Structure 1
Amino acid sequence: MKIIIHGGFFSESDQSHEVKTAKQNSLKEIAQKSFVYLQSHSAFDTAAYAVSLLEDDPLYNAGIGSQIQSDGIIRMSAAIMNGDTQRLSGVINIEEVKNPVFVAKGLIGEDDRVLGGLGAKQYATNHGFENFSTEIPQRRREYEAKLENGGKGTVGCVAIDKEGKLAVATSTGGKGFEIPGRISDSATVAGNYANNFCAVSCTGVGEDIVSNATAAKIVTRVTDGMSLEEAFEKTFEELKMIDGFAGAIAIDHNGNLFHKDSYPTMVFASFDGTSFEVFS
């Protein structure tokens, strides 16, 4: 059993040492809580749980603390994928729910498993998700300043459970000040993908991640026999060709963990029940 999570990127130029330390402590705590949860739950359930904790922390650009789009409205996207069943479900540009990842998870048993906009919100309302504003004052100030300090951030979790099953979940509050209706990578197989061999969650610039098909490429290459590290190296070399801004976390079916970013520093933490690795 292992878990790895990410919380987007950290910029030395626009975030303080205090924020960096807060993110390190937060990620370590969430990784540990999620590992404890994994003891009695599947990788699929744990991935959603971990991402919900990240959505609930205003340090990150997902759920509470999501970025505001150019028309002043927050729209969020999230997805989850069960590596064992190879089912992905997600929501795109959903408004006014606390935890988009739980709405995405709820869709896993539906025939129509990826919903957008008003349809996603209506589904959430019909299934008992209450209206909830995820806006915090800091994000409004950034919006009013045209996001001078806006980050390229998404949150995600990859987990492998005691049965060796893999799952991934990813959630984002967008890039900030984008054109309304813009779709990120998070609810696509480019940013969130898993099967029985590997699971990957990405963060960064969604357009770059989609153009490179990053998560799907890594998983496919591991499935075809590459090591996890080799799959990452080849995929990120291809990302360089478009000067892509991305980071990714992954676990393979042997329990190997790997992470990489094209423009440091992606914030992440992993825990295997004994030792932590936290970004520095």
Structure 2
Amino acid sequence: MKTVIVVHGGAWAIPDDISKASVDGVKNAARAGSVILRNGGSALDAVEKAVRTLEDDPVFDAGHGAVLNTNGEVELDAIIMDGGTLAAGAVSSVRNIANPVTLARAVMEKTDHVMLTDRGANLFAESIGFPSTATDALVTENERKEWEKFKKYIVGVKELFNPKWGHDTVGAVALDSLGNVACATSTGGIRNKMVGRVGDSPIIGAGGYADNRSGAVSCTGHGEAILKVTLARLILFHMEQGKTAREAALTSLQYMVERVNGGGGAIVVSPTGDWAAKFNTERMAWAAVEGEVLSYGLNPQEDCKETFQSK
């Protein structure tokens, strides 16, 4: 059976000065995940690897490169889900963790729970010897400067989601050679968010969902809006009704606009390998590997292709 992996680096008005780095980043992540699939690895391993690659890239708001809350702190969220068993793990508001997606997987595999948050998540990380990373190592110099600008005044969630400000959640979905799907999503949230604010990213059915019977989705965008319409599960609902991955994503994103005026994007893969990367913001960095072809894009309707070469 053919394998597919699709990744995204966030749906927002990605500025020109980081547009190439954003596209290069998602292409690297797609390649990294695809190598695992090509070698017979699982969709779960592939999405974790792809998202770790994005978390380690400071151009994205996840892990290294995370944005700061109102107190100047890093609070990270992540989810990972296996479509075969519906096993899932998530963490929210964790600190000093460079790869929250891997901590989310540890919650899934080493506890009886699905989500751990804040202090409890960090205590769990310490208990299993999960590596800790100093906050300064996770925050770029540019983020410090931007945060200094925004902390001078109070804005609401809608203003925080100004499409020209960074909020580039990352994510991946994959289909492996055994027909299993998986998803993973990770984010640093919105700059200057309230302490303890949690968006859609770690929430099952909102920021991500995976089920072998319908497919896998990872979402990005206005977290509060995505939560209200449970975007990931909504997309899969439409796929269960017979829509293609593209149709399901576009229908659901339009519904989110009509109901709660929310902007965002989603990547989708079905159990047969039908996939899509769709968004209603100005830009979304995305990449996919299917067979020998690496597809990628940034602007609406953009779909570039090149031959995939594993490293």
Structures share fold, TM-score greater than 0.5: yes
TM-score by length of 1: 0.94
Kindly provide the amino acid, as one letter, of the partner of residue 108 in structure 1.
Answer: M
- Cα distance in structure 1, aligned partners of 2:166 and 2:25: 18
SS in 1 for 2:78: strand
Aligned residues: 277
Residues 56-96 of structure 1, C-alpha deviation per residue, up to 9 Å, x if partnerless?
00000000000000011100000001011112210000000
- Cα distance in structure 2, aligned partners of 1:74 and 1:271: 32
- Cα distance in structure 2, aligned partners of 1:268 and 1:47: 14
- Cα distance in structure 1, aligned partners of 2:198 and 2:28: 30
- Cα distance in structure 2, aligned partners of 1:33 and 1:49: 7
- Cα distance in structure 1, aligned partners of 2:215 and 2:243: 11
Shift of 1:224: 3.7
State the partner residue of 2:125.
Answer: 124
Percent of aligned positions that are identical: 32
Change (3 A) 1:139 1:27: same
State the partner residue of 1:156.
Answer: 171
- Cα distance in structure 2, aligned partners of 1:10 and 1:267: 9
- Cα distance in structure 2, aligned partners of 1:275 and 1:165: 21
Change (3 A) 1:10 1:184: closer
Spell out structure 1 runs of 4+ moving beyond 3 A.
Answer: 147-150
- For the pair 1:180 / 2:195, whether they are aligned, the reply is yes
Contact 2:91–2:121 (CA<8 Å) still a contact in 1? yes
Pick from 229, 243, 251 the counterpart of residue 234 of structure 1: 251
SS in 1 for 2:167: coil
Kindly provide the amino acid, as one letter, of the partner of residue 174 in structure 2.
Answer: A
SS in 1 for 2:150: coil
SS in 2 for 1:96: coil
Kindly provide the amino acid, as one letter, of the partner of residue 141 in structure 2.
Answer: P
List alignment gaps of at least 5 residues for structure 1.
none
Kindly provide the amino acid, as one letter, of the partner of residue 295 in structure 2.
Answer: E
Shift of 1:237: 2.3
- Cα distance in structure 2, aligned partners of 1:131 and 1:108: 19
Shift of 1:263: 1.5
Residues 139-187 of structure 1, C-alpha deviation per residue, up to 9 Å, x if partnerless?
1111111179631210000010011110000000011101101111011
State the partner residue of 2:206.
Answer: 190
State the partner residue of 1:262.
Answer: 280
TM-score by length of 2: 0.85
List alignment gaps of at least 5 residues for structure 2.
152-161, 299-311
Contact 1:24–1:278 (CA<8 Å) still a contact in 2? yes
Shift of 1:11: 2.2
- Cα distance in structure 1, aligned partners of 2:71 and 2:285: 29
State the partner residue of 1:3.
Answer: 5
Moved more, 141-150 or 189-198: 141-150
State the partner residue of 1:106.
Answer: 106
State the partner residue of 1:205.
Answer: 222
- Cα distance in structure 1, aligned partners of 2:233 and 2:59: 28
State the partner residue of 1:144.
Answer: 148
Shift of 1:273: 3.3
Change (3 A) 1:173 1:44: same
Contact 1:34–1:49 (CA<8 Å) still a contact in 2? yes
